[in-house]
Structure 1
Amino acid sequence: MKTEEQNTTQAKYSVLLYYIYSPIDNVVEYRDIHHQFCLDNHLLGRIIIAPEGLNGTVSGLVEDCDKYMKWIKSDPRFAKVDFKVEQSETHTFKKLYVKIKKEIVHSELPVDPLIQTGKHLEPEDFKQLIKNDPNVVLVDMRSNYEHSVGRFKGAVTFDMENLRELPEHMHEIEHLKDKKVITYCTGGIKCEKASAYLLSQGFTDVYQLHGGIIKYGLEEGGEDFDGKCYVFDNRLTTEVNKVNPVVISKCHICGTTCDRMVNCANPDCNEHVPICEKCGVEMQGACSIECKENPRKRFYDGTGYYAKTTEGYKPEIAFRTRKNTKNLQIVEELGLV
């Protein structure tokens, strides 16, 4: 099994993916401290701080990411956090956002993973179980555009935009209540609440892939994961399967085999679809003629990635000096100010 340190020895930059459910009472103060640490150590990415815990994906120089991991774990609340560490030649983010939200993954599911959740399977155990137990069913808890470019062989998938829609799809797996159900997602975070929700709905033998697709790829080579894994940084996808890889997606424009994911250049659309390089150039990053002709279409630089812009969000300004921001609204709603 690879350690966090071993994963970061061969490249100039690291990409970290992590979450932890651990109560945070001082979210306002901690948000400021966390944000300043990232600024001081040249880290970029998206970090969510909520009363229930932390969720982040961060990129930076190897030494800066090592320092960040040690700093997080030095806090007793987060000592058990599990970092998934990938290698990169550059930053995989263009900006830094450290935000306060109600949940570390938006689900609105009436469950608490600190009270009940599915049994955690380490990647090695997961691999053996899906190979040797015919009573196992894999259930993908990610959004439709994510599993369209990559998923485990034979997995059940839902046509949902986000985890909030899971209750609307429960009828699709109602007949699986007598099976061993293993949920999976990118890094494991969605499964904490998704598996808990399945248990609340009468499923009795529920598991989840600990660390998600990314950890499985890093530690077990990603066998039987078809396609690529969608990620929320400027790579858009990352390779997982080093054993028996295949491409399962096709170009949205011409239909050729393609696993190159693109965000439509039209911000009014912003669909996540596979588009080959040739069509990407010809369509200027748009997914249709209508989107190509939209006057608000963004400049296509060949990547199909567009950094999220947030009005009024300036990392260099302390949180408490900003007014009328979404952060402040959420904090007020939570009764924390």
Structure 2
Amino acid sequence: MKSEKAKESVYFEKIESEITDELNKILPAVLKDYSEIKGYAASLSSLHGTISLNKAENLDMVRGKWMTYEDYIADWLSGLKDSIESGRPNMMQKMFKIESIRGYVLLFLERDFYRHYNIRIKDKPQENLWSIWFGSEILFWGLLIAPRFYDDSWQNKPGRIRKVDFGYWTIGHVLQTGLVDPENNAIFEFRDLDDLLMFYESILKRVSNSIYEKQVFAFYAEYIRKSAEPLTEPFLIPEFRYEGIKQKHKYRLDFTILNCHTGERIGFELSPQSTHMAISGIRTKTQVEMNKDLAVKWGREMEKRNEYFQQYGITTITFTDENLLEMRNCFKAMEYFLSKRKPERKSVDELIKEIILL
């Protein structure tokens, strides 16, 4: 059985191979145009050397972090624009005005992002978060980027994952891909936003046995209905499963936000003492025995939080009994992370137009 690291490597090799095929198709025309700029018959290594030099100059390869290839390219374009405006001689400025070369450079950078994926995103585990599973032990669902049932398992289509036009783990994502029903090996689809919210409140909410969780479901549905851009809102994931599709699993997080806009990953635990720290047989136990039992339970709770962080990069916020007295305030804390967005940055298309005009 392949390790997660080996599967991830094969996965990205397929994406890289697909982009390489696209590059090879346009290469003859690109080399011809590049040679005209250089004034002699330029080689492929010369072309790639020029692109790579600009990559090193335009990007902070040591501290930079990019969650998507579009972020990676946008930062490269911003660096190129700054370099041109500084007045420094720049061969890429001439190259970028030619459509064939421009398209080649953008594809080259996209391939570079996937070729060094773990480095670009600071080694966060792709396989764990691009196929996520949530729900109870019996009734649970999958949210994949580009789902397909192949070789007796659910997986992403490598050629599609880089071409989706929605933000990962958003409401728009769920509406476009639907949710995987692993029991019937089918996709559960939604007609529109109202249909999805009905599922959220009528199915997911009703499955929960917690009065506190039920309030969060209701608050979230209200939040989405009031949103000016509901499709871009992060999907509030209930019962995020630590071990994915396995029916018997180690942990679940009550609610999780994977914010594709900021890269933040936040889990929430609603932890009333009655369910998380209760000790059985309290009347027959000594204080020492109770302290020992409490220490074991506390250790398990901390282990759960640590393992979610180590495995998924998820930081967990816990609401205690006192917090749960005001559930509206608890949701306001969730809303803070749901609504967070990156500072406005220019789109790739806007940056390209500005660079061409320089």
Short-chain TM bin: under 0.3
Greater share of residues in strand: 1
Q: So what's the TM-score if we normalise by structure 2?
A: 0.27
Structure with the bigger percentage of helix: 2
Work out which of the two has the higher radius of gyration on C-alpha atoms and give 1 or 2: 2
Report the TM-score, using the length of structure 1 for normalisation.
Answer: 0.28
